[in-house]
Amino acid sequence: RGDSGLSEINLLKRQVSTLEGQLRALQSSFSKYKKVIMFPNGRIVGEKIFMTSGYEGNFDSLKQRCSQAGGQLASPQNAAENAAIQQIVVLYNKLVFLGINDIQTEGRFKYLNGENIVYSNWQTGEPNNDKGIEDCVEVYSSGKWNDKSCGEKRLIVCEF
């Protein structure tokens, strides 16, 4: 009884140690594949991943494509997330549309889930609703934001 209990424990110890080795191998492999998958179009900020496919289209088209992919149009909630999006703007030399707009109520910018924005990085003088037709938000290569007509074509950046 005592002996079989001991050998049972030793068996479990060997199994745990085998699993620990397999987990370490998986972790190191995963960390390498993350780098491969993020190169050069993706950025990781905390738990969030920003990714472009290079596609350009109007706001509705970008929104639909991100949603189709199981993500949503990039919606930066802090300076680090905004900087990641800015890097993609610079990499492609193309402005992007964010998942933010004031379509519902002029001057009240919201995320796609309808909540008021908690972070913004407006260029001086923006948002100005130029010609009364600017309800979407584009990001300049400086990282600063401008409200712009949702019908313009911009680079897609989704977040997952």
CB of 141 to Ca ion, least distance (A): 16
Residues between 116 and 145 with contacts to ligand IPD, criterion CB under 6 A: 126, 128, 130, 134
Closer Cβ to Ca ion, 1 or 131, answer by number: 131
Long-range contact set of residues 38-44: C-beta below 8 Å, sequence gap at least 24? 40/91, 41/88, 41/91, 43/84, 43/85, 43/87, 43/88, 44/84
CA dihedral 129, 133, 137, 139 (to 10 degrees): -80
CB 126 within 8 A of CB 104: no
Taking the C-alpha atoms of residue 81 and residue 160, their distance in angstroms, rounded to an integer, is 12
Q: How far is the CB of 136 from ligand IPD (least distance, A)?
A: 10
For every residue of 85-110, DSSP letters joined together read HHHHHHHHT--EEEEEE-SSSTT--E
Contacts with ligand IPD by CB under 6 A: the residue count is 6
Binding residues among 112-151 for Ca ion as defined by CB under 5 A: 126, 128, 130, 134, 146-147
Contacting ligand IPD (CB under 6 A), which of 146, 154, 155, 157? 146
Decide which of Ca ion, ligand IPD, none touches 75; Cβ closer than 5 to 8 Å per partner kind: none
Chain residues that interact with Ca ion, rule: CB under 5 A: 126, 128, 130, 134, 146-147
Chain residues that interact with ligand IPD, rule: CB under 6 A: 126, 128, 130, 134, 146, 148
